[in-house]
Amino acid sequence: MSFKIYPPTPERCREISGFTSACGILVGHEPHFYRIIIDYFGDTAFIAEDTDGKIIGFTFGFASQTEPDLFFLWQIGVADDMRRNGLASKLLAHLIEAAVKKGCKRVRATVNHDNEPSRRLFEKAGFKNLGRFPNFYFEGEEMIIYEKDV
């Protein structure tokens, strides 16, 4: 299948919100959250769309304000019917390129311990598994931290 990857425009906020909410694994946020992301971090957000203009993938991250060489990957998701064809890897490559342009030397992501697709993605891309951390964000939520030097 053919697709293109590019930074989203503010007009796509509702679609991005709907897409992330429908992904199942991702935590969906309200459209205004994605508007803020696009307005203030737009050079580190990307959508993938098919030939009909439908969003089939999304990723977003940002440079840390407390660790200047660190870039944090907040979300990456691909439509169910587009999984296992390299789209997530291509989105990740776009985001890593954006991190490098920001001067970051490391990219970090947190992944729920039972999110196998994300674990495979990061491990395939050469991220190091830094370990499992219970109650990382919330009580009872175990996360794995992945990090890669770029």
Q: Which helix (H) or strand (E) holds 35?
A: helix 31-41
Would residue 29 count as lying in a domain? yes
Would residue 147 count as lying in a domain? no
For 28-71, the pLDDT digits (tens) are 899 999 999 999 998 999 999 999 999 999 999 999 999 999 99
Number of domains making up the chain: 1
Would residue 118 count as lying in a domain? no
Residue 99 lies in domain: 3-108
Q: Which helix (H) or strand (E) holds 99?
A: helix 87-101
Would residue 8 count as lying in a domain? yes
Tokens of 75: 């979300």
**pLDDT of the residue at 26:** 80
Would residue 120 count as lying in a domain? no
Cβ neighbours of residue 111 closer than 8 Å, sequence gap 6 or more: 118, 119, 122, 143, 144, 145, 146
Would residue 25 count as lying in a domain? yes
Would residue 116 count as lying in a domain? no
**pLDDT of the residue at 3:** 93
pLDDT in tens, the chain (150 residues): 789 999 999 999 999 999 999 987 788 899 999 999 999 998 999 999 999 999 999 999 999 999 999 999 999 999 988 888 899 999 999 999 999 999 999 999 999 998 999 999 999 999 999 999 988 888 988 999 999 999
Give me the numbers of helices (H) and strands (E) for the chain, helices first please: 4, 7
Q: What is the CATH number of the domain that holds 16?
A: 3.40.630.30
